[in-house]
Structures are given as C-alpha cells and as structure tokens.
Structure 1
Amino acid sequence: MPSLIQKYDVPGPRYTSYPTVPFWDPATFSQTAWLQNLQRAVSATNGPTGLSLYIHLPYCESLCTFCGCNKRITRNHGVEGPYIDAVLAEWMLYCDLLPERPRLAELHLGGGTPSFFSPDQLERLLTGIFERATPIESPDYGWEGHPNNTTRQHLQVLYKFGFRRVSFGVQDYAPVVQKAIHRLQPFENVRQVTNWARQMGYRSISHDIVFGLPFQTPDSITDTFYKTLMLRPDRIAFYSYAHVPWIKGNGQRGFRDEDLPSGEQKRVLYETGRALLEQAGYVEIGIDHFALPHDALYKALQTGTLHRNFMGYTTTQTRVLIGLGTSSIGDVWSAFAQNEKDLDTYLNRVRAGELPLLRGHVLSDEDQFLRRQILNIMCQGETRWTWDSWTEDEWAVLCDRLESFRFDGLIDFNAEGLRVLPEGRPFLRNICMAFDARLAHAQPRTQLFSQTV
C-alpha cells in the first residue's frame, strides 16, 4: 500500500460532476441554453421524480482554516434578512420560467453555516420556497448544522418543513487540532444537538470528520471515533482534508505545510478510522462515506440507486438540480450553471431582477457518456458499456490509461466494462481520471485539485 500511495497520490477531482468545473467550456454556454435545457428536463422528469434544490447560506461567525467553501465571515446578523430576500427573489425568477409547478424531491441547506441564520429567518426562507413548490410524497430534505450554534428551535423549525436528515461538523476532538483549524467545540455540544435531533424524530443524523488535518495522529483519530461511536450517528462522512491554499480567501494558510501529515500518514489515519467504523457495524460507501445498514444511504447502495452530484452522495436520483444563492451550481444532466461567487455581485444582480449566472457548460454527447461511466464507478464501483462505445483509437488510449491499475491489482476490465476490486477502493478518484478526456486534453500546468490520497 505505501508504494501505491506514493504512485497515485496526485492532484485529482472529487467527481461530483463531469466535466469538472475547471474544464467547463464557456463557448457552449449562455443563459438561453441553460434555460432551454432546464425547461426540457423539468418537463420530462418533474412529474415522475420531482427535482432537487440546493440553497447556499454562506455566512459564518468565524473562519475555520481547513475550509475551502465559499463563505463570508461576519458577526453582523443584520445580513440575514437581505440574503434571504435575495434567495427568495432568485427562486421566484426560476419559478416564473419553469413550465410547471416544481415538485421537491430533495432539498438541502448548505454553507457556510446554515445555523448562522435564526430559526425565524429559516422559517421565512422555507415558507417562501414552498409557496411556489410542492413536496413529493417521501422527500429527502437535509441541512448542515454547527454544533456550537444549533438550537432546539433550529431543529424544530426545519423538522416542521419535512427535514429528517441533519449533519453536524465535528472534524476532530483533539484540542491541538481544533486550535490549529480554529474550530473549537466540545464533545458535549455535539452530544446535545445529536440527542435533540434523535429525540425530535430525525431519521438520519450524520457527523462530519476530517482526516489529514494539522497535528492529527492515529491516537487522536482513535479518540475522535471513540467519542463519535458513543453517539452512534446513522451516517459518518469521513473526508480527506483538501489542502488548496491557492484558492483566494479560503484561509488555509493558518498553519504550516509541515504541520500536515504526509500522504502515507493520511492513509494510516483513514485506515485507523475505517477499521473502527467497520468494527462498529458501519459500511463504507463510495468515497468519504459510511452508514449503518438501516440508513437510506446504505439501502441506496444495495439497490443500485445511489447517486452523486454537487451535494455529494444522495439517495435521490433526480435529473434536475437547481442551485440558489451565491456560488450555487445547477445541474440538469445535459447542462451546468453556476451562480456568481462574489456575494455582493450576487446580491446586486438578483436585486436587478437577473438570474445571477456566472458560468456554465452544455454537455456534448461524449461528455454525457463519460459522465455516466464516472458516476457508475463513484457510486457502484463498476460500469458497463457496449462494444461500439469507443472508436479504435479511443479504446487504445483508455486501455493504456487503465493498464497500470490492472497491473497493480486494483481493477478488472474488458471490452464490456470495468469493476473496481477491493484493493482499488482507495483509488476511485484516480481510476475515474482515466476516463476524464477533458482533464487529459487540458494537461493543466498549475494545480487545480487537492491530492487524491
């Protein structure tokens, strides 16, 4: 394993989409093209399956120095009302353009820190969303809460609107790690919000834990998981820290590079955590995720309905994802669109009555075919194709890229498909890169992605 880690520890995408955002082609995109693709997808799928909605809530009271998300740091809660106004105005713009009333199958509040917003403001937001939308019969609604500021009222308000899934950011319980990443929160706060959610009737409670943080050791990971397993959340997202200090404003220079574990040390941290989780009855799902057998994420894996999009792994296979709020990304399978990443620009454009689109991409037939292969690998660990899916030259190139993985005992493949072997699970991202034609064509000279290990 150490030699494989050294070999495959390269920068690579997490593949929540294909093509990945850095390789979107602006020549394919326009607001008109986005709306045409959106309207076609809604007409085709809204009735049978409904659609997904992601709302980005970017504010945080303090900066966590491990975080690469789009956020605005402030203690001024006067920003809540104007931002909710803008999100609702954006939603109204979309609803006026859709061919029919949307049916919400999936709804997720992410950030930033959704629990930065008061329960009253979140209630106002969701009241406005559902004035123009109808929930499907068994929806999947989830949100992200900070253990230090999530209140019982937060949980109650969201529960009232049908939210039954919540994730709490834990990261690590070691004081030296918490200090380094500027994320100070005691175990008691996590226990309190977890118990509140469970008592209230939330069906899926998730804890987010990150490995590869500064000063982490196998002992600190072990202690973090012992505490986590005392609470036995239904899901655990066990993420690799994405060290991307070149992204402007992400705050990831709050510690020195030498304070971070190496690739091999990171893998030891992961294997330590994974062993404890598997001993406790959790099942590994795709990359970064574990779930107990009663959880819907595990059941989706077993039935082949697991899906992956910009929200990560989901149990809901909708063809339409609308993103609201600054930096949010929409996805209608045949096209992507991302909102303005600058918060003030986003607010000003929505106030002017515009859809605040920054960029996007309309997928070619080849994009859609490759997207399906990558999605299958990320969700099911295997994929199939027909004998005429590749030209002779394309097949030769693919075989050349895959041969190294086969030689190392990570995959099996033939003219009809590919299967990831158990030894290959740590390298899913690398295997998907073999199918990434746009990455291969671009051959970026600067680092765009975090390390795969």
Structure 2
Amino acid sequence: MMNTKLIRKYNVPGPRYTSYPTVPFWNEQEFTTTDWESTLISSFVESYADGISLYIHLPFCESLCTFCGCHKQITKRHDVEVPYIQTVLKEWQLYQDFLPLTPMIREIHLGGGTPTFFSTSNLERLINGILEKAELAEDYQFSFEGHPNNTSKEHLQTLYDLGFRRVSYGVQDYDPQVQFAINRIQPFENVKRVHDWSQEIGYTSVNHDLVFGLPHQTRESIENTIEKTNELRPDRIAFYSYAHVPWMKGNGQRGFDEKDLPKDHEKRALYELGKHMFFENGYREIGMDHFALPSDSLYQAMKARDLHRNFMGYTSGSTKALIGLGMSAISDSWYSFAQNEKKLKDYRQQVEEGNLPVFRGHLLSTEDLLLRENILNIMCRFETEFEGDYPLFEMIKEDLEELVSDGLVHINGRKVTVTKEGIPFVRNICMAFDRKLQESKPRENLFSKTV
C-alpha cells in the first residue's frame, strides 16, 4: 500500500542523477576544451584495456512527440543524413588526432532523435567510418534506439550484420487517446512486427520504453499497455516517469493541458500497478524505473554488483571514458564532463573549423568525485559506504535525518541503505548527498518532480 502522505511530501523537483554534478551545477567558467582533452587522455590511457564507449546522437525526427525533452531536429527531408554523418565522422577524427593510441571500442549506442530516420546505407557508412581506424574489445556491445513505425527489417538486419545485438523501441503507451495527446500514433501491430523481426534476426536483448504519468493515462490504459507488453515479453523494460518540463527552451511539452496529467499519488499508483504486473510475469526490478528478465545481462549485472548508470541510463557494463559524438551529445572522462553545441548549425561550424564542438563542461573536484561514487552506489545498489571526509558525511547525515525518521533510509556507521519503502524515493535520497543542490537551493524550475 502506497503512503500518499509521503508521496505528497517528497514529490518535489529533483535530478535523475545520470551524472554528478548535474548539468545545471556545472562550473562552466573554470572549464576549457583543453581541460576536457587532458582528462580524456588520462582516463583513456589509465583504462585502455577496458576500452571506451561511444554515444552517437542522431537528432532527426519526422514529427514532434509532445512528451519529449530530447534535443532534436524535426524534418521530413532526408537529404540532411549524409552531411550530418560526414560531420560526425570528422568529429571522431578530431578525437583520433589527439588520442595517444588507437581507440578500443567496447560500447556504441545510437540515440536520438530517431536513429532509424537514417537509411540503412547511411547507418552502415557511419558505423564503418567509426570502426575504420579503431579496434573492438572482445566483448563489445552495440545498441540502438528504433522507432516502431519506421524501423524496417532491413534496418535490423544491416545493424545486426554490423555487430548490433541490442535494440530499444520507444513504445510509451498503447492507448489511442494518450498517443494522440503526445503525437505518437503507433498501433500495437507495428511494435509487434519489429519486436518479432528483432528476435527472428537474433538480437539478444530487446527493450521496450514505456512512460507513466502521460496525459490521459488511467489505471485501465496502463493495465492494457502492460498486458500487451507482457504478451511480447521483451528482455528489458524501461518504465520511465514522465518528466514534465515545459519551461525548457525548445521543448514540445505544450500539446496538452496540465489538468490532463495524473497527479502525485495517482501517477505513482500507475507505476506500482505496472511493477506488480511485471513481477507477475517474471521480471525483476533494476535500480530505478527499469525491469529485466533474469536471463538478461542487465539483471545479471545487478546481481554481480556491476550495474552502472551514465547519461544513457542504466547499463550492464561501464568504461571510464565515454565520448559523445553529434550535436548536444555529452561526454564523460570520469574526471570531467563536456557537452557539444546544441544547435546543428553551431555544431557543424565548429567541426568544419577543426575544433571539438564542445561549448560547456565541468571539471570534477575531489569532493565531486567522492559524492559521484556514493550517488552512483545509491542509484545502482541502493546502498553506499561513505569513505573519507568525516565533516562532509556529517552534513549528509543531517540532511538524511528526515528520510531516516520516515523509514526510507537506514544508517549504520557510515553505511547508508535504502529501505524497501525508500526505493520509490531514491532520487530524494540522492539529493541529500548532492552538496551543490543543497548549497544553492534553486528557486527556479530546473528539474522534473521526483515521484
């Protein structure tokens, strides 16, 4: 039974903690592209045998989904594909020019936007161009995001032949009224078709993205959506909380009325219903908002305590260096973060002039690194043991007191453990570790609500 009083109390704006510090608290004034290059070289050399991860942002979509908060370009013109791929490959060459060794790639993820906006020949050109002067780790993992309406069997076969074994489909919801409100019309038959093709071709991990808290969602519509999802039985399910952030510039989240959104405990009830239905169908809860079958590597990583979280969400493996290619992509050397230009024109101009298209970033301090490790532990393992800097831990402990008294956290010495009741509030618990958030107490809207 949900505690509606706690949901009302803790449903406040807060980060999702795909990084620490979170982007609004980056110290951009003390960051330079030279700093980014030097920290990347350090982590690249230190962890060379582990390889690197590449996130490639493919921003184009043919229509705007009004729930989406991603950086995208809406167009039906496919003549944008080749120039964009050429620019991404030039950016990749800029990295190869200063990295001291041939890159060894462990992970590639194609995100968007809509990666399957691109033709199979252009996706092949992109991946072959990336791999041309790189080596592959033995256990490399390639994944991409597919739109059920435009992912063809040729897309799936081409990417499979290039080494891709994971695919994630953006399903969101099957209810026609919800789909109309978010401008994402895709019948169940379309999802089933690409899902079945993926399994037929040999993809070893198929993920479906669902979202709770969308306009017009009800218990009945969520139940119908999850019954259909369970019928297909994907290996993984991401059941995301809808992040309502219409104040963000360029965001499309104004295609429906605020009153159409389920509120507070109503929204959380949709998640709890979904979780119960997943459990009944043999899924296991992974971190926050994720579920997997016991046979999937994400569940196995959780059991082995290898689960990781970065700008792409939860992953079954981790590398110290993650390079983001493409407009708006974010990179992570572990010691610093760097984000590319958000506007396509600015991104392309910087690359054409021979510059890394980084426009902002953050160098992590010793305190940042310590807090990052603890927040990562909380997000991935629901526990952490704080090491070093006793005064800092005392401040965190003080900020956790109310969560302890509400039964959401247990503290034993320096070990902080999230209770079963505290799992829905894991973002709030991480906020107690977030010194930059606690010190700034922002008054303006920065984040979506936590529950």
* TM-score class normalised by the smaller sequence: over 0.9
Conserved in 2, the CA contact under 8 Å of 1:239 and 1:288? yes
Partner SS state of residue 407, structure 2: coil
**What is the distance in 2 between the residues matched to 1:362 and 1:396?**
25
Q: Which amino acid aligns with 1:389?
A: D
Q: Which amino acid aligns with 2:9?
A: K
**What is the distance in 1 between the residues matched to 2:161 and 2:99?**
27
1:351 counterpart residue number: 352
**What is the distance in 2 between the residues matched to 1:23 and 1:279?**
41
**What is the distance in 1 between the residues matched to 2:96 and 2:157?**
27
1:352 shift after superposition: 1.5
Conserved in 2, the CA contact under 8 Å of 1:283 and 1:290? yes
1:375 shift after superposition: 0.1
Aligned residues: 449
1:190 shift after superposition: 0.3
**What is the distance in 2 between the residues matched to 1:85 and 1:114?**
15
1:433 counterpart residue number: 431
1:400 counterpart residue number: 398
Conserved in 2, the CA contact under 8 Å of 1:152 and 1:193? yes
Partner SS state of residue 105, structure 1: strand
1:27 shift after superposition: 2.7
1:424 counterpart residue number: 422
1:18 counterpart residue number: 20
1:250 shift after superposition: 1.3
The answer as to 2:304 corresponding to 1:303 is: yes
Conserved in 1, the CA contact under 8 Å of 2:386 and 2:393? no
1:281 counterpart residue number: 282
Any idea what the Cα deviations from partners look like across 1:298-333, whole Å, max 9, x if unmatched?
000000000000011011121000000000000011
Partner SS state of residue 333, structure 1: coil
**What is the distance in 1 between the residues matched to 2:107 and 2:423?**
28
**What is the distance in 1 between the residues matched to 2:155 and 2:48?**
29
2:83 counterpart residue number: 82
Q: Which amino acid aligns with 1:438?
A: K
Any idea what the Cα deviations from partners look like across 1:140-179, whole Å, max 9, x if unmatched?
1110000000001111111112110000010000000000
Any idea what the Cα deviations from partners look like across 1:3-39, whole Å, max 9, x if unmatched?
0100100000000000000000013310111100000
1:204 counterpart residue number: 205
The answer as to 2:6 corresponding to 1:4 is: yes
1:409 counterpart residue number: 407
**What is the distance in 1 between the residues matched to 2:420 and 2:339?**
36
TM-score by length of 1: 0.98
**What is the distance in 1 between the residues matched to 2:445 and 2:434?**
16
Any idea what the Cα deviations from partners look like across 1:208-231, whole Å, max 9, x if unmatched?
000000000000000001111110
* Percent identical residues: 57
TM-score by length of 2: 0.99
**What is the distance in 1 between the residues matched to 2:394 and 2:121?**
59
Any idea what the Cα deviations from partners look like across 1:108-153, whole Å, max 9, x if unmatched?
0000000000001000000100002111111111100000000011
**What is the distance in 1 between the residues matched to 2:449 and 2:71?**
20
Any idea what the Cα deviations from partners look like across 1:237-285, whole Å, max 9, x if unmatched?
0000000001111110000100100011100110110000000010111
1:366-381 counterparts in 2 under 5 A?
Answer: 366-381=367-382
The answer as to 2:163 corresponding to 1:159 is: no
Conserved in 2, the CA contact under 8 Å of 1:146 and 1:168? yes
Q: Against the structure 1 CA distance between its residues 126 and 395, is the aligned structure 2 distance closer, same or farther, given a 3 Å change threshold?
A: closer
Q: Which amino acid aligns with 2:390?
A: W
**What is the distance in 2 between the residues matched to 1:361 and 1:130?**
29
User: Which sits farther off after the overlay, 8-17 or 412-421?
Assistant: 412-421
1:437 shift after superposition: 0.5
**What is the distance in 1 between the residues matched to 2:165 and 2:154?**
15
Q: Which amino acid aligns with 2:441?
A: Q
Partner SS state of residue 174, structure 2: coil
Conserved in 2, the CA contact under 8 Å of 1:41 and 1:320? yes
The answer as to 2:48 corresponding to 1:28 is: no
Conserved in 2, the CA contact under 8 Å of 1:114 and 1:145? yes
Conserved in 2, the CA contact under 8 Å of 1:147 and 1:193? yes
Task: Name the Cα RMSD after superposition.
Answer: 0.8
1:10-409 counterparts in 2 under 5 A?
Answer: 10-47=12-49, 49-386=50-387, 388-391=388-391, 394-409=392-407
1:442 shift after superposition: 1.5
Conserved in 2, the CA contact under 8 Å of 1:140 and 1:316? no
Conserved in 2, the CA contact under 8 Å of 1:214 and 1:260? yes
Partner SS state of residue 154, structure 2: helix
Conserved in 2, the CA contact under 8 Å of 1:105 and 1:316? no
Conserved in 1, the CA contact under 8 Å of 2:52 and 2:322? yes
5+ residue gaps, structure 2: none
Any idea what the Cα deviations from partners look like across 1:371-418, whole Å, max 9, x if unmatched?
0000000000000123x4322xx3432222111111111111133210
Conserved in 1, the CA contact under 8 Å of 2:107 and 2:141? yes
**What is the distance in 1 between the residues matched to 2:29 and 2:185?**
45
